[in-house]
Amino acid sequence: MSEINVAVAGQPNSGKSTMFNLLTGARQFIANYPGVTVEKKTGVLKIDEDKCNLVDLPGTYSLSSYSLEETVARDYLLSGQADLVLNIVDASNLERSLNLTLQLLEIGLPVIVVLNMMDVAAKREMKINSEKLSEKLNSPVVKAVAKKGKGKAEIKDMISEVYYNQEKYRRNIAEIIKYSPEMEANIEKISNFFAEKKFEDYKARWLAVRLLSGDEHVQNLVKEVS
């Protein structure tokens, strides 16, 4: 029996909490993060013999550190406590949602993309090629309608599959998200610098990308260390 820690992340109104409640049933409780007012909920999901701890993170549009929600979500994801990320995506708002998905992938944890609200997408006559999306993101994609209880079994199976085959799902992030040649040259230079410094849990490439995007949190971190 293993304990699997899963972070449930997604944009506001993507149905994260609905999905969280569907997966964990009535067994969730509310916990406070020390020092901040934003709550994270944790709940337990049994998958065969394994105990799966789900952490419902606050909804964020991206993972910069401009708001408290973003800081809480991102600190948890960077803390190394989560084994994998369940990224709940509003399928009817796919383009906007994938912005966060890419940022989650960039952190380096295995990500399962859950296309939620597939019924709404279908009503808007949107056709989503989930196989192609899965191939592009190099991550599993599961279709679901949390409100109607659809997708639970598929998500459970996928959590086990990813947890027990992590090597397969942990790919070189630079292969998935490639910036322009000039950007890549800069990212490489800065990552090499970080790689030598050993920033514990922070991945060199992630730090370089965030630094180039003008992230104050990372700027301060670098100042503290250097």
Residue of 115, 106, 116, 93 lying closest to 138 (CA atoms) = 106
The answer to whether 3 and 81 have CB atoms below 8 angstroms apart is no
- Rounded to the nearest whole angstrom, what is the least distance from the CB of residue 62 to another protein in the complex? 5
Kindly tell me which of 96 and 178 has the beta carbon lying closer to another protein. Answer: 96
The answer to whether 14 and 116 have CB atoms below 8 angstroms apart is yes
- Rounded to the nearest whole angstrom, what is the least distance from the CB of residue 166 to another protein in the complex? 29
DSSP codes of every residue in 21-60 = HHHHTT--EEEEPTT-S-EEEEEEEEETTEEEEEEEPPP-
Kindly tell me which of 55 and 63 has the beta carbon lying closer to another protein. Answer: 63
Residue type, 22: L
Kindly tell me which of 11 and 28 has the beta carbon lying closer to another protein. Answer: 11
The whole-angstrom separation of Cα 169 and Cα 12 is: 26
The whole-angstrom separation of Cα 190 and Cα 57 is: 30
- Rounded to the nearest whole angstrom, what is the least distance from the CB of residue 69 to another protein in the complex? 12
Structure tokens, 89? 């995506």
- Rounded to the nearest whole angstrom, what is the least distance from the CB of residue 157 to another protein in the complex? 31
- Rounded to the nearest whole angstrom, what is the least distance from the CB of residue 104 to another protein in the complex? 14
Q: Is 18 helix (H, G, I), strand (E, B) or coil?
A: helix
Task: Please count the CA atoms within 13 angstroms of the CA of 117 that sit on its side-chain side.
Answer: 20
- Rounded to the nearest whole angstrom, what is the least distance from the CB of residue 219 to another protein in the complex? 13
Positive or negative torsion for Cα 128, 69, 52, 167? positive
Kindly tell me which of 6 and 209 has the beta carbon lying closer to another protein. Answer: 209
Kindly tell me which of 2 and 220 has the beta carbon lying closer to another protein. Answer: 220
Kindly tell me which of 34 and 214 has the beta carbon lying closer to another protein. Answer: 214
The whole-angstrom separation of Cα 140 and Cα 142 is: 7
Q: Which residues lie near another protein (CB under 8 A)? A: 61-62, 64, 66-67, 93, 95-96, 99, 214
